């Protein structure tokens, strides 16, 4: 399920966005200031962030320096209609922006477009000598094709998209298996171990004590 983080301090707007995105089938988390947004990004993985510019504590522009290394697409929500603010947002790495007030249909269209663009532009992922083609869902190490099961492939993508970040077993479970994690780590451990062995990444996907795993590259 596509997860969207909404960072917006005006609760009426935040609620309106959340209700409509949920209706459209997205999983939505709302936070109301910049610090809470940074905390949310530490705790879970998101596919897209809707980011208000004017926020208490840490504003949207400042938050971009935190978001950029995570490679999560961002749509700025701005009350300011000035061209310089839009340019600043885009220059900082935002994928798009919406000027408030906006129609819900426009919001949904932009969310869809950014998500589609994002998945499309990263069809070939390369990490050292490993190449992942997300179009054909094939994995090669150098010239050698590696056969992964569907879950192992999804796990690999999760690690590659979150390089050098410790992923909690709980997060891994929720992202790959989709249900609620009940504390049984064997499923996650088994799949991670098999996947990294097939790829030869026993030294790269490391166990993080009491947390889970991290891809170190």
Q: Give whichever of 7 and 139 is closer to Ca ion, judged by the CB atom.
A: 7
Residue ranges with strand state E in the chain: 3-7, 27-31, 48-52, 74-78, 96-99, 124-127, 130-133, 138-141, 144-146, 167-168, 205-208, 212-215
Task: Please select the residue that binds Ca ion; options are 2, 3, 9, 70, rule is CB under 5 A.
Answer: 9
Smallest distance, Å, CB 10 to Ca ion? 6
Part of the chain binding Ca ion (CB under 5 A), chosen from 2-10, 82-90, 95-103, 121-129: 2-10
Three-state SS at 179: coil
Please say which residue, 11 or 65, places its beta carbon nearer to Ca ion.
11
- Binding residues with Ca ion: total (CB under 5 A): 3
Is residue 70 close enough to count as binding Ca ion by CB under 5 A?
A: no
Q: Which single residue brings its beta carbon nearest to Ca ion?
A: 54
Shortest spacing between CB 30 and Ca ion, in angstroms? 13
Of 55 and 205, which CB lies nearer to Ca ion in the complex structure?
55
CB-nearer residue toward Ca ion: 86 or 169: 86
Rank residues 9 and 154 by Cβ distance to Ca ion and give the closer one. 9
Q: Edge-to-edge strand order for the sheet containing 3-7?
A: 27-31, 3-7, 48-52, 74-78, 96-99
- Under the binding rule (CB under 5 A), the answer on residue 85 touching Ca ion is no
> Residue 54, interface with Ca ion (CB under 5 A)?
yes
Q: Is 170 in the site for Ca ion (CB under 5 A)?
A: no
Angle between helices 169-176 and 150-161 (to 10 degrees): 130
Q: Which strands make up the sheet holding 138-141, listed edge to edge?
A: 124-127, 130-133, 138-141, 144-146
Q: Using CA of residue 205, residue 209, residue 212, residue 217, what is the dihedral sign?
A: negative
Task: Give yes or no for residue 127 binding Ca ion (CB under 5 A).
Answer: no
* Contact call for residues 197 and 189 (beta carbons, < 8 A): no
Residue 59 binds Ca ion, judged by CB under 5 A: no
Examine residue 33 and tell whether it contacts Ca ion (CB under 5 A): no
Contacts with Ca ion, 34-53, as mask; x by CB under 5 A? ------------------x-
Residues that bind Ca ion in the complex, under the rule CB under 5 A: 9, 52, 54
């Amino acid at each position: 399920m596509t997860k969207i983080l909404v960072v917006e301090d005006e609760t009426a707007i935040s609620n309106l966005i959340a209700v409509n995105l949920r209706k459209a089938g997205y999983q939505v988390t709302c936070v109301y200031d910049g610090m809470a947004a940074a905390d949310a990004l530490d705790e879970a993985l998101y596919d897209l962030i809707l980011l208000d510019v004017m926020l208490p504590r840490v504003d949207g522009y400042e938050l971009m320096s935190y978001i950029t290394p995570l490679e999560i697409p961002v749509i700025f929500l701005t009350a300011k209609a000035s061209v310089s603010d839009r340019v600043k947002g885009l220059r900082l790495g935002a994928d798009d922006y919406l000027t408030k007030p906006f129609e819900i249909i426009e919001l949904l269209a932009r969310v869809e477009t950014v998500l589609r663009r994002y998945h499309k532009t990263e069809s070939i992922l390369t990490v050292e000598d490993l190449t992942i083609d997300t179009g054909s869902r094939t994995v090669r190490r150098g010239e050698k094709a590696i056969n992964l099961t569907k879950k192992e492939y999804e796990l690999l993508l999760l690690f590659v998209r979150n390089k050098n970040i410790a992923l909690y077993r709980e997060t891994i479970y929720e992202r790959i298996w989709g249900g609620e994690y009940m504390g049984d780590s064997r499923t996650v451990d088994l799949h991670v171990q098999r996947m990294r062995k097939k790829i030869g990444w026993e030294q790269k996907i490391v166990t993080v004590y009491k947390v889970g795993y991290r891809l170190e590259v």
